[in-house]
Amino acid sequence: MIFTVAIDGPAAAGKGTISRAVAERFGLAHLDTGLLYRAVGARVDEGMEPVAAARTLTAGDLSRGDLRTLAAGQAASKVAAIPEVRLALVDFQRRFARRKGGAVLDGRDIGTVICPEAEVKLFVTAAPEVRAHRRWLEVGGDAAKVLAEVRERDARDMNRTDAPLRPADDAIMIDTSTLSIDEAVERACAAVAHRLT
């Protein structure tokens, strides 16, 4: 079976949590595509040129312990705005998406660019203040600064020339602002189950 679930949305909306839960529920492989960009950003911060960092990325680079930090997220957003970096990572993502047994990919351009043919497309979002609070709970620091960084990242992701963050025309919207994790997961799983039957 080849079956792709594309889950997009801004930072801290809950797409990673939902993606992992959907993959586990339906026995599908999972790829957090943001890790690809975080790993490239981390390599750039260590002195590599961005396109070279993307072209030579290995599976081991995705298991680094520092990829979930706020700094790694900011670095990811910066390298993701470079068209040549995105191009270097597209083929890997598309092969993963169409693997036998099915796959769930989460990111910012999965349903619009990477897998426009995905059988299910979800766009997971939440109010910036809600997302900033979630991120603050994860990383701590100054709450106002975290909110400013979330808004800055949203602006960069939504306004980049190449593959801006936006819902696919046929995406199912899930606003997690007032949903519990379980409620958000159930909405996503219901959408997937509907297409699998």
pLDDT digit string (tens) for 143-152? 999 999 999 9
Residue 83 annotated as binding site: no
In this predicted structure, the answer to whether residue 167 has a pLDDT above a threshold of 80 is yes
> Considering the entire predicted model, what is its pTM?
0.85
Number of domains the chain is built from:
1
Q: What is the DSSP letter of 60?
A: G
Mean pLDDT, rounded, for 102-112: 95
Q: Which residue has the higher pLDDT, 107 or 163?
A: 107
- The CATH number given to whatever domain includes residue 190 is 3.40.50.300
- Per-residue pLDDT at 129 exceeds 90: yes
17 among annotated binding-site residues: yes
Q: Is 11 annotated as a binding residue?
A: yes
12 assigned binding-site residue: yes
Which range marks the domain in which residue 58 is found? Answer: 4-196
Q: Is 184 annotated as a binding residue?
A: no
CA–CA separation, 155 and 123 (whole Å): 17
Please give the Cα distance from 147 to 153 (Å, whole number).
10
pLDDT for the residue 53: 95
The two beta strands, 4-8 and 120-125, are parallel
What long-range pairs does 69-73 form, CB within 8 A, spacing at least 24?
Answer: 69/139, 70/135, 70/139, 70/141, 70/146, 70/149, 71/45, 72/38, 72/41, 72/42, 73/11, 73/34, 73/38, 73/153
Mean pLDDT of the chain: 93
Q: Check the annotation: does 23 bind a ligand.
A: no
Q: Is 15 annotated as a binding residue?
A: yes
Q: Is 121 annotated as a binding residue?
A: no
* Residue indicated by tokens 């040549």: 84
Place of tokens 């959907």: 22
Tell me: is residue 145 an annotated ligand-binding position. no
